[in-house]
Chains A and B, each alone.
Chain A
């Protein structure tokens, strides 16, 4: 009989029930979408912040501190280098997956035809790598220097044949030396002399505008630096620093075993640095504070902002559902008064009303959940051009939210029903 009454209620009141289900679906979709976005926003913003370039720099252990001071520019004079053949190892560390990009640098002093001294830096532009994991990665400054603008020509593309004999020239240097894209320039290094074609002129808005960028091989040949690398810039997705990370950054040795484990297995910038030092012989990896710190700060703020917006929309959704449930149960006072008059107990009326509302809530909740995933994807695609990954966490949170909110929404209505005197209702007041 109970089932029959509920089925009847649905059939008879399908319009009203649909409205409740619709509102619950709206609320649930709102909660789902916001939760999905909130949980993924950190990753997405992290990707966006890669625009600021590398957040870790790796140099040889005894790299000269006096580089700048002897007025020889950026050329490495300390005589200590990193090994080029170890570069691939960076993608084998524990947090390899978080390393989104990196590029080696090797610089050497060269002479142009007119005798002007220029610093030539060898690097990767869009170096293609097939990783042992089966992944493919195009690493290099094409993405690490996203703020460069090409004023003439185009980016040097390492995939093109003949790219080894190409170079990119900084705008300041190009202006001084009257170099244009497509020109051929002769660079005379310590060990060799090479003729290169200028692929493009870039404007970096900084000191790099005075440099000529060439491929790693070219720079090594020019400077007789076979297999040697000055420094590596690494761009990694990191977790904002907390107290543990700061403590570890000073001295990993000061951590207890469990702290060490937590630290090592969290993508803090300091633990990634530590892991890079483990795989690159005689290297010091340090966080570029300008990027790493600011990144953490902005990520924290963005996350907090999204959490608060999520809370607001969840409260809104919750109150909205509560409200409608209350309103629609109250509407049925007459029918319920009648049930009471014919001898229904409060408990059985409650059970009936609750079951009805809950059935509706489940239907609405499920529909809303999928709609919410849809909304999240719309947001993901239009803002970040990538799908928002759906965390499994969202399912129970939304489920609990919908059930709880519906229950709470029923409380005032049910209290009202319990206080209802059948005579009053039936006399049409």
Chain B
């Protein structure tokens, strides 16, 4: 018991009283540990974070109806099947041909707040429609009809007769519905969307006089194509009347690019880690090599090699543990800084990484100390003490 107390006392004395050297060693270890925990955290979190970025490519899953249209209930049921943290946005669209200046135009109605999430690449000159009575015109439509943000326009809708006109009967002619709109913005996407006008759902209901049902529903889900296929299968099975399809162009390409990116970060992590660990090892070696004379003295006093190794390793382990803990915290802070700067979101803490970092630091420090200690214990104490 007494002996262990002295052992601890010696180690603490060495750690606390040889301050400058111990700070050097501690610094080296914490740098190593910081890089380890920082890079590993980033490596694990990159797919998630980058996956979010890839959502800027827009919807990666499309819901179509097996019948005529999709109901709000079906959309809600679908939403429930996707974990909240993976669902970026759900935008259901209703398409209807309306007339502007007596010429037909395709109008789309959707929850535009969701559209902003599923199609973040849309560039709007002016404002997104925020209240009823506002619409957003595609660039081509705007050019054709000379629409500008702030201008007013009227849309008319010719409702179809409830029943098909029987041959011989005269078709019942219904009066046109119409509504006034303010153009809030012009939409630029470089794609087909430029040929549509977009409005809010209540406006469409008012204009057509029909309850809202959707033609198509776009989903943006932060997941790889394997996960997406699974989700799509679930939707097909559990939600009646809808079919989920993946947008291959988005999912396949995302897999390709994300895999590259992750293997890049992995390789970089490995190279950086390997080099840093060697760096830590050389520093520890230098710090221990300095104490050859002390090792010689202990040997002369009758210490066995085993007990010398035990003492120095004890120091190494304590240093490794403290450095590892410090480094793990710093590394997490670094990963957090990266995440905040690059992705504007906070990083997920991986609790298991802290013991792993500490363990790795202890192992690296231990190995780094062991080499010079062993070589020092092999040396004749008489020679060391002679003061070369």
Chain A residues within CB distance 8 Å of chain B: 16, 19, 22-23, 26-27, 29-30, 33-34, 37, 41, 45, 48-49, 51-53, 57, 65-69, 146-149, 203-206, 286-294, 297-298, 301-302, 304-306, 308-309, 312-313, 315-317, 319-321, 323-324, 326-328, 330-331, 375, 378-379, 382-384, 416, 428
- How many A-B pairs with Cβ below 8 Å? 225
On whether A68 and B195 interact (CB within 8 A), knowing A146-B252, A203-B248, A308-B342, the answer reads: yes
B38, B267, B343: the one contacting A301 at CB < 8 Å is B343
| A316 B97 Cβ-Cβ under 8 A | no
Complex CA gap A67/B195 in Å reads 9
**Closest-CB distance, B27 to chain A (whole angstroms):** 6
Closest to B246 in A: A205
Closest to B50 in A: A301
- Judged by DSSP, the binding face of B is helix
Tell me if B257 counts as interface (CB < 8 A to partner A): yes
Q: Which of B204-250 contact A (CB under 8 A)?
A: 245-250
Tell me if B155 counts as interface (CB < 8 A to partner A): no
**Closest-CB distance, B278 to chain A (whole angstroms):** 6
Stretch from B5-13, B76-84, B280-288, B311-319 contacting the other chain: B280-288
| B21 A383 Cβ-Cβ under 8 A | no
What are some 24 contacts across the A-B interface (CB < 8 A)? A30-B272, A34-B268, A48-B260, A48-B261, A49-B253, A51-B252, A65-B140, A289-B121, A289-B190, A289-B191, A290-B57, A292-B190, A294-B53, A294-B56, A298-B50, A308-B337, A309-B42, A312-B38, A312-B272, A313-B276, A316-B279, A327-B21, A330-B290, A379-B264
Chain B residues, CB < 8 A from A23: 278-279, 282-283
**Closest-CB distance, A224 to chain B (whole angstroms):** 26
**Closest-CB distance, B49 to chain A (whole angstroms):** 8
Chain B residues, CB < 8 A from A317: 275-276, 279
Chain A residues, CB < 8 A from B271: 30, 33, 375, 378-379
Chain A residues, CB < 8 A from B364: none
Closest to B331 in A: A312
| B27 A323 Cβ-Cβ under 8 A | yes
Complex CA gap A27/B34 in Å reads 16
Tell me if B123 counts as interface (CB < 8 A to partner A): yes
Chain A residues, CB < 8 A from B167: none
On whether A29 and B342 interact (CB within 8 A), knowing A205-B247, A298-B56, the answer reads: no
**Closest-CB distance, B14 to chain A (whole angstroms):** 16
Known: A288-B189, A289-B123, A294-B121. 15 other contacts (CB 8 A): A23-B282, A23-B283, A49-B253, A49-B257, A289-B122, A290-B57, A308-B337, A312-B272, A316-B31, A317-B276, A319-B31, A379-B268, A383-B260, A383-B267, A384-B264
Tell me if B105 counts as interface (CB < 8 A to partner A): yes
Complex CA gap A24/B52 in Å reads 39
Chain B residues, CB < 8 A from A148: 248
Chain A residues, CB < 8 A from B322: none
Complex CA gap A316/B334 in Å reads 12
| A206 B247 Cβ-Cβ under 8 A | yes
Tell me if B146 counts as interface (CB < 8 A to partner A): no
